Amino acid sequence: MKRGAQGQRGIIAAGTPGMARRAFARGLGVGASGLVLAGFSAPWTLAPPDLVPPPGFGFGSLRFTMTDAETAKTVTAADFRGKVVMLFFGYTNCPDECPLTLNNAARIIERLGPKAASLRFLFVTVDPARDTLAVLRGYTHNFGTPNIIGLRGSEAELAALAKRMGARYSVHPSPDPLKYAVTHTLLTYVFNREGVPAFSIAGLAEPKVDLQGIARDLEHLLAADRV
């Protein structure tokens, strides 16, 4: 556990400092969660055969119903059909891992240039009690790209999506901000244009990240034919 300015946060599935690690779909077994990725000792580079995950993959296909903070409209995974999607669970009061992750995502999007038109980064709040749509919208605007979209769901919607991803989170409210405790998995889940799991990234919350390698991995997905 670490303590920050906004209270305690559990750090789950963080990668080794200075290294963002990609895991192929085939690298995870049935029921695997984000915790398994912390042990990889070298970055993975996707190749075309790795873009189609085998049966028994560790997180499910993209499926959810939530509210888009930008438009205040209900959206589902179907609204992102045809886009490559990166999905991350976090919260706006997070003092370090979440802003680092989104900042690195914005840098990757910038590296991709025009190719990023078909990429969306979905930031799913695990703290909807404090993260209203207005708060979430203002937070995602800080990262300077419309490709980063804040999503807010009910407790049931959030729990269903987290379970499907094998992600973990908890929120322990307190009137004292220093005692308001939030934990969440640090994996970034990546899906192809059809919403099928492609790979996951551990370590995107680190200050030094293999941005070039991750961008190259995403380019494989973006180059695939549109659905």
Residue pLDDT, tens place only, 29-78:
323 333 222 222 334 444 444 444 444 446 888 999 999 999 999 999 99
Residue 110's SS3 state is: helix
User: What residues pair up with 150 in beta bridges, in sequence order?
Assistant: 123
Q: Is it the case that residue 84 has pLDDT exceeding 80?
A: yes
Question: Both tokens of residue 165?
Answer: 């991803």
* pLDDT range class, residue 203, cuts 50, 70, 90: confident
Q: Is it the case that residue 148 has pLDDT exceeding 80?
A: yes
Question: Both tokens of residue 122?
Answer: 């979905």
pLDDT for position 205 = 85
pLDDT for position 28 = 34
Q: What percent of the chain has pLDDT over 70?
A: 73
Instruction: State mean pLDDT over 91-120.
Output: 95
Residue pLDDT, tens place only, 150-202:
999 999 999 999 999 989 999 999 999 889 999 998 899 999 999 999 888 88
Q: Which CATH number fits domain 25-40+53-211: 2.30.110.10, 3.40.50.150, 1.10.760.10, 3.40.30.10?
A: 3.40.30.10
Beta strands in the chain (DSSP E): 2-4, 7-12, 21-24, 65-68, 74-76, 84-90, 119-125, 148-152, 169-172, 181-185, 188-191, 197-202
Reported pTM: 0.78
Question: Both tokens of residue 123?
Answer: 């930031």
